[in-house]
Amino acid sequence: MTAPNNHEGEKRRILVAEDVEMNQYLARHMIEAWGFDVDIAGNGREALVLVQQNSYDLVLMDIQMPEMDGLEATRQIRQLTDILKATIPIVALTANALKGDRERFLAAGMNDYLPKPINESNLLRIITDNLTNLTNMITTNQDQRQNILPPKTDDADKLYNLSLVYGIAGGDESFVNRMLQLFLDTMPLTLQEMQKEAAGQNWAQVGKLAHKLKSTIDSMGISSLKDTIRQIEQNGKKGERAEQMPAQVNLVESIMQSCAAQVKKDFSL
Ligand code: MN
C-alpha cells in the first residue's frame, strides 16, 4: 500500500467531524486503510479548534452535530486569518439529502457533498477529487484482503444484517467486533434519552435523537426500523403527527433491545 504524501513528503492528514461514534469508527477505518492520518472531532466546535491547531489536507464535516453544527463550523473556518486554513477543502457528510441542501452547503463555504451512509468507493472518489496537489497514487489494500464471512446463523429471525460492516471490514475481524461493541455501548443511552424526551413531549428533540439512531440502524442493517426511524425524524423536525410518536418510539426501543440481545448472543459479547 502506498501512503499518499503531500509536497513535503509528509503523510496526508484528514479531519473527520462527526458526532456518532459508529460513523467515526467506520470513517477512520476506511480512510486509514488508504494511508492517510485521521483525526476525529465530535462536534463543530472541536473541529474548529483542531483546524486551528493542526494542518489538514481535507475536512469531512457532518452537518448535524451538537454544540456547533457543520455549517457554522465551516463558516468560521472560512473566516480564519491564516489563508491556508481558511481555504481547506471541506466536504459535507449528511444523511439529509433534501432538495436545496447542496446549495445550502456550498453557500456556507463547503466544497462538496457526500450523502450518508458512506460507501467506500464514493468516499475515496470524493477525497481524491477534493485534495489539492495529490501527486501520489492511492492504492487500497482491497486486493490483499482475505474474505471473512459472517458467522452462520439462522437468518430468518435475525433483526440485523452486517453485510455493510463486513464489506468495509475487508477481513479485519477485530473491526467487526469493535463496531458491534460500539453498537452495544452507545445505543442504550440514546434510546434512554429518546424515551425521556418522548415522555416530556419534546418532539423536536426526539427527532434529533432519531437522526442519530438512523445511521446506527443503517450501519447495523436493522431493516425493520428503516422507515419508522425516518418517520420519527421527519415528524419531530416538522412537529407533525405527535400522536404517533410514543408508539413509534416504543417500537424502536423494543426492536433495538431485541437486536442487541441477538448480537450479544451471536458474537458472545
Ligand atoms: Mn450527526
- pLDDT tens column, 230-239: 999 999 999 9
Quickly state the pLDDT bin for 142 (edges 50, 70, 90). Answer: very low
- Region 117-124 average pLDDT: 81
- Categorize the per-residue pLDDT at 138 as very low, low, confident or very high, splitting at 50, 70 and 90: very low
List the beta bridge partners of residue 228. Answer: none
What is the Å distance from ligand 1's center to 267 Cα? Answer: 28
Angle at 214 between CA 213 and CA 215, to 5 degrees: 95
CA of 10 relative to ligand 1 center, distance in Å? 30
Give mean pLDDT, residues 140-163. Answer: 59
Distance between CA atoms of 197 and 55, rounded to whole angstroms? 40
Tell me, in angstroms, the distance from the centre of ligand 1 to residue 178's CA. 20
- φ, ψ for residue 58, nearest 5 deg: -165, 145
What pLDDT sits at residue 8? 52
Computed on alpha carbons and rounded to an integer, the radius of gyration of the chain in Å comes to: 19
| pLDDT value of residue 166 | 85
Dist. CA 165 → ligand 1 center (Å): 19
How far is ligand 1, taken at its centre, from the CA of residue 42, in Å? Answer: 9
Provide the pLDDT for residue 126. 86
> What's the CA-to-centroid distance between 148 and ligand 1, angstroms?
30
Give yes or no for a contact between 202 and 233, defined as CB atoms under 8 angstroms apart: no
For 210-250, the pLDDT digits (tens) are 999 998 998 999 988 999 999 999 999 999 998 889 988 98
145 CA from centroid of ligand 1 (Å): 30
| Average pLDDT over every residue of 48-65 | 95
What is the pairing mode between strands 58-62 and 13-17? parallel
Residue with cell 441542501: 101
Tell me, rounded to whole angstroms, the distance of Cα 67 from its chain centroid.
17
Cell numbers linked to 195: 424515551
pLDDT recorded at residue 10 = 62
> Can you tell me the distance from the alpha carbon of 129 to that of 132, in angstroms, rounded to the nearest whole number?
8
**Nearest one of 252, 96, 17 to 260, comparing CA atoms:** 252
CA 63 / ligand 1 centre spacing (Å): 6
Question: Whole-angstrom Cα distance, residue 60 to residue 258?
Answer: 33
Residues with CB under 5 A from ligand 1 (ion): 19, 62, 64-65
